[in-house]
A and B are shown apart, each in its own frame.
Chain A
């Protein structure tokens, strides 16, 4: 799950700080952002950590500009990230589409707070699960990862950068206010123990380089501005040379490749963390901070002799159907607690196809679902 092989130095950090540590360990050297609660600490820490390692932090005029600058920096060769919350994430949707179609690696952290609109700026929520999937315009694949602990914030951020570089795609980290602001113990691994992946760059002579040519991975080698591989990058649908096209015989292979590079790698991208699922009769499917309450509730249920299990989703999108289906078939009933009106439970029901009974537990008052609430429902499932 985590890109970290062994525990290292123990520290007391909050989630937002751990995200910064993960990003730096993954090689992030550019950050552009705009202040917003509850994500602001990421900007604040980046503003003094990045320049110390010859990286660049800039506070832009808004979130649209932030993601624009991140994409530009990535095209110029830097691993780049931005962080925001719901309303700012909405402003980023335009350039998120650009990053998808131009295949520019970048990481976007959305620390979820209550919405819609200004909503509950200092309260926890999981209301942006669908925004992360479908927020930008047009048909596109996307990778979205959820974090639940400070340790996750480090490891999953590294993983997000690695996936982003490997598949040349934006990767979204969905954190939430509770994870972001909870201060807890974390083990920071030694830098050399962190597995870091970099985008594959072309090694052909520049005149042979075809920037968007298909290959077995479905991920073209990426030239960066200034390294001799001059090419065109555009938000228009383009041919293999990067030039705009309206020819169906060029559009279709392009769109197919965009999806294929993600779809043929589900095993690599989709991650869940299972606890007590081998013999589970009742199961909780949860993600983010709620999965911590769920973990406690499952443990308590086990103490009372109930065969409960937990499937914690790390990858929210592409939805880990292949991993969950066998669990759904084994369980008598499944509970999906989440801090929205049912965004992931909708997906669980979609893949369930009558295999088991799916129940929901939704909380939208700006507070975390407690272990007791989940336990109460588990015992009645």
Chain B
């Protein structure tokens, strides 16, 4: 605890930005803790780190953190982050998005950032709902669940964010939960250190907008549920499909060495310079 207090003093802004906007019991606070512990472990200086966030409850995370912080437009966080990273590849760019942010309005940017395998860390807080706007269904709301815009049950199928990221070409994909906080520290640390596009899907809970409407209890019950359904990926490999029904796997789901964009772009620069030397320049 004392260690955490030190980190709070070191990494959180202490001007006028607290108390935060989140509801009691929200998972975002625990994620914020995991995030600063992970950044601290990587050893990067505060000036080297850029936190980019989208719109929604999770989007507010950036304002509390004492780094270079950017709170962007809805769904577009990865596009801003792409520009930052390419303009100054020395910066460590960490992007925080929600499920609606990353996979509905920002779905296109998400799959393309993964496809480029650009050296960014994307942390996606998946609480299955649009919390800030009052509990409308999102692309990760389970089939049949109730929401402010699905009073008779959601008839859409949910995205699996991690699988989407893997199929789209992300170098590293991990999944954790708010309950497994210290695992989250490890996953985020590894994701930041990964060269390439790294995704951490954080299974969270919205007790205010989702839990209450679907009678899932409060934050404690919802986190207990995370504990019950989570299976470590190593263990999941030994289980049958039947046994895995209704479970989620947590841990590092994929970690691959694929060509990453910033590395590849160096080749383009070399080729362009060589071409200029070889032939008379276009002008």
Q: Interface of A with B (CB < 8 Å)?
A: 11, 13, 21, 29-30, 32, 45, 48-52, 54, 56, 58, 60-62, 64-78, 80, 94-95, 98, 188, 225-228, 230-236, 241, 243-244
- For A62, the closest partner residue in chain B by CB is B108
Q: Does B88 contact A (CB under 8 A)?
A: yes
Q: How far apart sit A350 and B15, CA to CA, in the bound complex (Å)?
A: 47
Question: Of B47, B52, B109, which one neighbours A226 at CB under 8 angstroms?
Answer: B47
Q: Is the CB of A52 within 8 A of B273?
A: yes
Q: Is B71 an interface residue (CB 8 A)?
A: yes
Q: Are A76 and B63 in contact (CB under 8 A)?
A: no
Known: A68-B76, A232-B69. A225 touches B50 (CB 8 A): yes
Q: Chain B 137-179 against A: per-residue CB contact (8 Å), 1 yes, 0 no? A: 0000000000000000000000000000000000000000000
Report whether A77 and B16 are in contact in the complex, using a CB–CB cutoff of 8 Å.
no
The stretch that binds A, out of B222-230, B245-253, B264-272, is: B264-272
B252-276 interface bits toward A, Cβ cutoff 8 Å, 1 = contact, 0 = none: 0000000000000100110111011
Of chain B, the residue at the smallest CB distance from A58 is B86
Cβ-defined contact, A77 with B275, below 8 A: no
In the complex, per-residue mask of B73-108: 1 if CB is within 8 Å of any chain A CB, else 0: 100100111111111101100000000000000001
Take A65-B76, A65-B109 as given contacts and tell me if A80 and B283 are in contact as well, using a CB distance cutoff of 8 Å. no
Does B68 lie at the interface of the complex (its beta carbon under 8 Å from any beta carbon of A)? yes
- The verdict on B186 contacting chain A, using a C-beta distance below 8 Å, is no
- Chain B residues with CB under 8 Å of A227's CB are 47
Which residues does chain A contribute within 8 Å of B62, judged by CB atoms? Answer: 232, 234
B70 within 8 A of A: yes
Q: Do A226 and B73 touch (CB < 8 A)?
A: no
Instruction: Give the docked Cα–Cα distance between A65 and B269 (Å).
Output: 22
Q: Report the minimal beta-carbon distance from A51 to chain B, rounded to whole angstroms.
A: 4
With A52-B275, A65-B76 in contact, do A241 and B81 touch (Cβ < 8 Å)?
Answer: no
Q: Are B79 and A243 in contact (CB under 8 A)?
A: no
B69 interface neighbour in A29, A226, A233, Cβ under 8 Å = A233
Tell me whether A230 and B66 are in contact (CB under 8 A): yes
Q: How many residues of B contact A (CB 8 A)?
A: 45
Give chain B's interface residues, CB within 8 Å of chain A.
Answer: 13, 15-17, 46-48, 50, 52, 62-63, 66-73, 76, 79-88, 90-91, 108-109, 112, 265, 268-269, 271-273, 275-276, 282-283
User: Could you tell me if B88 and A225 are in contact, using CB atoms closer than 8 angstroms?
Assistant: yes
Contact of A69 among B79, B268, B269, B275 (CB under 8 A): B79
The interface residues of chain A lying within 8 Å CB-to-CB of B83 are: 30, 32, 68-76, 80
If A243-B63, A244-B63 touch, does A69 touch B82 (CB 8 Å cutoff)? Answer: yes
A232 to B76, CA, bound (A): 17
Q: Please name 22 pairs of A and B residues whose Cβ atoms are closer than 8 Å in the assembled complex, sorted by A.
A: A56-B87, A60-B79, A60-B82, A61-B112, A65-B76, A65-B109, A68-B76, A69-B79, A69-B86, A72-B81, A72-B87, A75-B84, A76-B88, A78-B88, A94-B76, A95-B76, A98-B73, A230-B67, A230-B69, A233-B70, A235-B71, A243-B17
Looking at the complex, which one of A11, A56, A73, A78 makes contact with B265 (CB distance below 8 Å)? A56
- Give the Cβ gap from B237 to chain A, nearest Cβ, in Å: 34
CA distance A5 to B230 in the complex (A): 68
Partner of A51, one of B48, B68, B265, B283: B265
Known contacts A68-B76, A73-B84, A76-B84: does B108 contact A61 (CB below 8 Å)?
Answer: yes
5 nearest A-B pairs in the assembled complex, by CB-CB distance? A72-B83, A68-B79, A69-B83, A73-B83, A72-B80
The answer on a CB contact under 8 Å between A78 and B69 is no
Whole-angstrom distance between the alpha carbons of A225 and B88 in the complex?
9
Q: Which of A52, A70, A188, A225 touches B91 (beta carbons < 8 Å)?
A: A225
Contact between B80 and A68, CB atoms less than 8 A apart: yes
Chain B residue at minimal CB-CB distance from A21: B283
Give bound CA distance, A112 to B82, whole Å. 27
